[in-house]
Protein backbone atom coordinates (compact mmCIF):
# COMPACT_ATOMS: atom_id res chain seq x y z
CA UNK A 1 0.00 0.00 0.00
CA UNK A 2 1.19 3.50 -0.76
CA UNK A 3 1.98 5.28 2.45
CA UNK A 4 3.98 7.71 4.55
CA UNK A 5 6.51 6.03 6.84
CA UNK A 6 8.28 7.65 9.75
CA UNK A 7 11.27 6.25 11.56
CA UNK A 8 11.81 5.71 14.34
CA UNK A 9 8.43 5.68 16.12
CA UNK A 10 10.12 6.67 19.37
CA UNK A 11 13.35 8.65 19.71
CA UNK A 12 15.16 9.60 22.89
CA UNK A 13 17.98 12.12 22.84
CA UNK A 14 19.91 14.17 25.32
CA UNK A 15 19.51 17.86 25.90
CA UNK A 16 21.57 19.67 23.26
CA UNK A 17 22.46 16.53 21.27
CA UNK A 18 21.52 16.79 17.58
CA UNK A 19 18.84 14.42 16.38
CA UNK A 20 17.44 13.54 12.96
CA UNK A 21 13.98 12.20 12.22
CA UNK A 22 13.17 10.61 8.89
CA UNK A 23 10.15 10.34 6.63
CA UNK A 24 9.66 8.42 3.42
CA UNK A 25 6.71 8.17 1.08
CA UNK A 26 5.59 5.87 -1.69
CA UNK A 27 2.78 8.16 -2.85
CA UNK A 28 5.04 10.12 -5.22
CA UNK A 29 3.59 13.35 -3.84
CA UNK A 30 5.43 16.55 -4.65
CA UNK A 31 4.84 18.29 -1.31
CA UNK A 32 6.14 17.09 2.06
CA UNK A 33 5.38 18.74 5.40
CA UNK A 34 6.74 18.56 8.93
CA UNK A 35 4.48 19.27 11.90
CA UNK A 36 5.13 19.45 15.62
CA UNK A 37 2.32 18.25 17.87
CA UNK A 38 2.42 18.69 21.63
CA UNK A 39 0.12 16.89 24.00
CA UNK A 40 -3.58 17.73 23.58
CA UNK A 41 -2.85 20.29 20.87
CA UNK A 42 -3.37 20.53 17.14
CA UNK A 43 -0.40 19.92 14.84
CA UNK A 44 1.71 23.01 14.20
CA UNK A 45 3.32 23.35 10.77
CA UNK A 46 7.09 23.83 10.93
CA UNK A 47 7.94 23.90 7.22
CA UNK A 48 7.30 22.16 3.94
CA UNK A 49 8.97 21.31 0.65
CA UNK A 50 7.19 21.99 -2.62
CA UNK A 51 9.32 19.77 -4.85
CA UNK A 52 12.82 21.04 -3.97
CA UNK A 53 11.67 24.44 -2.76
CA UNK A 54 11.92 24.83 1.01
CA UNK A 55 9.29 26.97 2.78
CA UNK A 56 9.77 27.85 6.43
CA UNK A 57 6.95 29.04 8.66
CA UNK A 58 7.68 32.44 10.15
CA UNK A 59 7.65 31.23 13.75
CA UNK A 60 9.69 28.05 13.30
CA UNK A 61 12.82 28.27 15.49
CA UNK A 62 16.21 28.28 13.75
CA UNK A 63 17.01 25.14 15.73
CA UNK A 64 14.84 23.18 13.29
CA UNK A 65 16.16 22.38 9.82
CA UNK A 66 15.06 20.07 7.04
CA UNK A 67 16.51 18.23 4.07
CA UNK A 68 14.85 16.61 1.09
CA UNK A 69 17.43 14.70 -0.94
CA UNK A 70 14.85 13.25 -3.34
CA UNK A 71 11.09 13.00 -3.88
CA UNK A 72 10.67 10.07 -1.51
CA UNK A 73 12.63 11.16 1.56
CA UNK A 74 12.56 14.12 3.90
CA UNK A 75 14.47 14.67 7.14
CA UNK A 76 13.91 16.85 10.17
CA UNK A 77 17.09 17.93 11.96
CA UNK A 78 16.99 19.44 15.43
CA UNK A 79 20.41 20.94 16.02
CA UNK A 80 20.31 21.46 19.79
CA UNK A 81 17.15 19.99 21.30
CA UNK A 82 15.76 21.67 24.37
CA UNK A 83 13.24 20.27 26.82
CA UNK A 84 10.52 22.25 25.07
CA UNK A 85 11.12 20.33 21.85
CA UNK A 86 9.75 17.11 23.31
CA UNK A 87 6.72 16.37 21.15
CA UNK A 88 5.26 14.17 18.44
CA UNK A 89 6.66 15.05 15.02
CA UNK A 90 4.39 14.31 12.08
CA UNK A 91 5.32 14.09 8.42
CA UNK A 92 2.66 14.58 5.76
CA UNK A 93 2.49 14.63 1.98
CA UNK A 94 0.14 15.99 -0.63
CA UNK A 95 -0.11 16.30 -4.37
CA UNK A 96 -0.33 19.83 -5.63
CA UNK A 97 -1.49 21.04 -8.99
CA UNK A 98 -4.84 19.29 -9.14
CA UNK A 99 -6.85 22.35 -8.23
CA UNK A 100 -6.90 24.81 -5.39
CA UNK A 101 -7.67 23.44 -1.97
CA UNK A 102 -9.03 19.98 -2.69
CA UNK A 103 -5.99 17.81 -2.09
CA UNK A 104 -5.86 16.21 1.36
CA UNK A 105 -2.65 15.70 3.25
CA UNK A 106 -1.59 12.16 4.10
CA UNK A 107 0.12 11.69 7.45
CA UNK A 108 2.61 9.22 8.83
CA UNK A 109 2.23 7.74 12.31
CA UNK A 110 4.72 10.19 13.76
CA UNK A 111 7.90 10.04 15.81
CA UNK A 112 7.58 10.74 19.50
CA UNK A 113 10.70 12.61 20.65
CA UNK A 114 11.77 12.62 24.28
CA UNK A 115 14.56 14.81 25.65
CA UNK A 116 16.57 13.67 28.68
Partner 1 sequence: GNSVTQMEGPVTLSEEAFLTINCTYTATGYPSLFWYVQYPGEGLQLLLKATKADDKGSNKGFEATYRKETTSFHLEKGSVQVSDSAVYFCALSDRDGGYNKLIFGAGTRLAVHP
Binding site for partner 1 (CB under 8 A): 4, 6, 31, 40-43, 45, 48, 50, 55, 90, 92, 94, 96, 100-110, 112
**At its nearest, how many Å lie between partner 1 and the CB of residue 36?**
12
Q: Which is nearer to partner 1, 19 or 31 (CB)?
A: 31
Half-sphere exposure of 24 (CA within 13 A, CB side): 3
Q: Which is nearer to partner 1, 2 or 16 (CB)?
A: 2
Per-residue buried b or exposed e for 39-78, using 16+ beta carbons within 10 Å of the residue's own CB: eeeebebbbbbeeeeeeeeeebeeebbbebeebbebbbeb
Helix, strand, coil percent content, the chain, rounded in steps of 5: 5, 50, 45
Q: Which is nearer to partner 1, 81 or 108 (CB)?
A: 108
Q: Which is nearer to partner 1, 14 or 41 (CB)?
A: 41
**At its nearest, how many Å lie between partner 1 and the CB of residue 4?**
8
Amino acid sequence: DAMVIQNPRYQVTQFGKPVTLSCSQTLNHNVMYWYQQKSSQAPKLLFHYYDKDFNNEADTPDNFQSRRPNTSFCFLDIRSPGLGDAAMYLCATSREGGGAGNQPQHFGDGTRLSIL
